[in-house]
Amino acid sequence: MPGIVIDGQALEAADGQTVMEAARAHGITIPALCWHPALSVDGSCRVCMVEVEGRGLAIACNLPVREGLAVLTDSEAVRAQRKLTLQFLTLNHPVDCGICDKAGECLLQDYHYAYNATPSVSNEPKLHATKHYSLGERIVLDNERCILCSRCVRFTREVSGSHVLGIEQRGDTSLIRPAAGRSLDEDPYSDNVIDLCPVGALLSRRFLHQSRVWYLTATPSICPGCARGCTVDVWHRRPDWQLQAVATHRNHAIARVTPRENPAVNGPWICNKGRDLADLLERLRALQPMVAGVPATLEEAMAAAREAIAAARHPLALVSTWGSNEELEAFKEHLGPLFTCRVKADHQRGPGEPGDDGLLIRADKNPNTSRARALFGEAPADTPGDTDLVLVWGEGFDGSTLPAGATTILLGSFEAPENVTAAVFIPLSILTERAGHYTNFEGVVSGFAPCFPAPATVTHAEELFPRLVPEGGRP
Ligand code: FES
């Protein structure tokens, strides 16, 4: 463990660390644009320059620690060098922060104000490059804003392994481009380059010009798209920036999804399915309780369900793999003794959707199979011939497998033809409207919090289950 001195503080560094890593491990921030803790060192932006006692200036991201090394991270010489570096990096940059989606979370903007904050020193016109280069259906590239840090290139080489991006040409004509004949759409992790880009060069088409980031707040959540259960931030409109008259539906809509770093589950990354949570969660909702296809109140629907459960002789429950740990445990406690319970896969792998890929994506497209199976066993979700009542919780239910004459109670969140043909339909809240935990395929438990209030006509499954128990239980 080499002892080093940073800004006069004697610190211990780990063997093999760089000054950048040792400083950050002790809460000392050295600015960085090209360096990223999960990528190899590039050393191209030069903004991490520090002063090494007796040696002059050196970049901290590529400077190994050694016993007795003493560095200054914010000396006069360092600040003077950073000012020059920032002047160089913004020489041909359009400084169009007013229309840039990255404004408010742009490192270049922050460093410019911290270390430069002066107008351009050049009298020459800025060089122009491609302002809107399509990298596929998800991402557009603004080459004028790009500082060629190569984080995106290294990501496709070192993390996703798609090798789609590279740098072509030389000097001030250098451009990030996809390899010949390739598209970034091939990479199921492509949108991570949007977060990695320290400036506003790589932009999400989905989020493009939809909101300023300071209008949004992030709620911790979990991607339910597969058994990995990646921890994410769901970004949505802040209460103090609610829209009052136009497009008010956006007050309760997902604006974007980004990874919430978690070394035990997903590191700093998520796949593109996680970015598209709105496609999963903002489908047409089923909001109306029904009895025999006729609209009813929640109380009426619950009473009809209790009656059907009390009358059944061979009831079967198909339990959701999208239910939270708390909901599954509530089901087990209150309804488990009344039903034969089987675990159902709510979602199947779609056409072209990746299976287990060795990085994050899993073939099981349900977030809580692990806890559901621990509570309800491994038996297949088939339907015994003498079943006279089926309670279906969640999606992935094939009505054609039901024995003729069996009664169905459906508990779901989205519009489906079966909702109106069921004896009882009760609408449930969704992931962004409730709190809970999921257990991923490796047994790691993560939590999620509500982003939006639940509609008045839906109920939370955890609160519903005890209310479905018939008085005195089932005979
Ligand atoms: Fe060290 Fe870019 S962060 S050179």
Q: Residue 182 C-alpha to ligand 1 middle, in angstroms?
A: 29
Q: Is residue 159 part of a domain?
A: no
pLDDT of 315 strictly over 90 = yes
pLDDT for 474 beyond 60? no
Instruction: Please determine, for residue 441, whether its predicted confidence score (pLDDT) is greater than 80.
Output: yes
Query: How many residues are listed for the chain in this entry?
Result: 475
CB atoms within 10 A of CB 222: 29
Distance 120 CA to ligand 1 centre (A): 22
Domain ends where: 44, 60, 89? 89
- What percentage of the chain carries pLDDT values higher than 90? 93
Whether the predicted pLDDT of 147 surpasses 90? yes
CATH number of 25's domain: 3.10.20.740
In a domain, 334, yes or no: yes
Indicate whether 49 belongs to any domain. yes
Asked whether residue 318 is assigned to any structural domain, the reply reads: yes
User: Cα–Cα distance between 6 and 26 in angstroms, integer?
Assistant: 10
What are the tens digits of pLDDT across the range 1-38?
A: 889 999 999 999 999 999 999 999 999 999 999 999 99
In a domain, 399, yes or no: yes
> Given this model, what pLDDT does residue 61 score?
98
Whole-number Å distance, alpha carbon 54 to ligand 1 midpoint, is 21
Is 138 domain-assigned? no
Which of ligand 1's atoms lies nearest the C-alpha of 61? 1
Out of 34, 62, 89, a domain closes at 89
Domain boundary, last residue among 31, 55, 89 = 89
User: Does 112 score more than 90 pLDDT?
Assistant: yes
24 C-alpha to ligand 1 centroid (Å): 14
Q: Is the pLDDT of residue 259 over 90?
A: yes
Asked whether the whole model's pTM tops 0.75, one would answer yes
The reported pLDDT for the residue numbered 403 is: 79
Name 84's Cβ contacts closer than 8 Å, sequence gap at least 6: none
Q: What residue ranges line ligand 1, CB within 6 angstroms?
A: 32-35, 43-48, 59, 61
Atom number of ligand 1 nearest to Cα 31: 3
Condensed to tens digits (0 to 9), the pLDDT of residues 151-208 reads 999 999 999 999 999 999 999 899 999 999 999 999 999 999 999 999 999 999 999 9
Domain that holds residue 373: 290-468
Q: Which atom of ligand 1 is nearest to the CA of 46?
A: 4
> Residue 319's domain is classified under what CATH number?
3.40.50.740
More confident residue, 401 or 203: 203
- Residue 31 CA to ligand 1 center (angstroms) comes to 8
Q: What is the pLDDT of residues 62-100, one digit of tens each?
A: 999 999 999 999 999 999 999 999 999 999 999 999 999
Please state the atom number of ligand 1 nearest to the C-alpha of residue 149: 2
Q: What is the mean pLDDT of the chain?
A: 96
| pLDDT band for position 472 (cuts 50, 70, 90) | confident
Domain assignment present for residue 326? The answer is yes
Report whether pLDDT(218) > 60.
yes
User: Nearest 5°: phi and psi at 148?
Assistant: 55, 45
Question: Quick check: is 114 in a domain?
Answer: no
Question: How many distinct structural domains can be found in the chain?
Answer: 2
Please, which pLDDT band fits residue 381 given cuts at 50, 70 and 90? Answer: confident
Q: What is the pLDDT of residue 473?
A: 64
Nearest atom in ligand 1 to the alpha carbon of residue 44 is 4
How far, in Å, is the centroid of ligand 1 from the Cα of 127? 24
Residue of 44, 50, 63, 148 to mutate, ligand 1, most atoms within 8 A of C-beta: 44
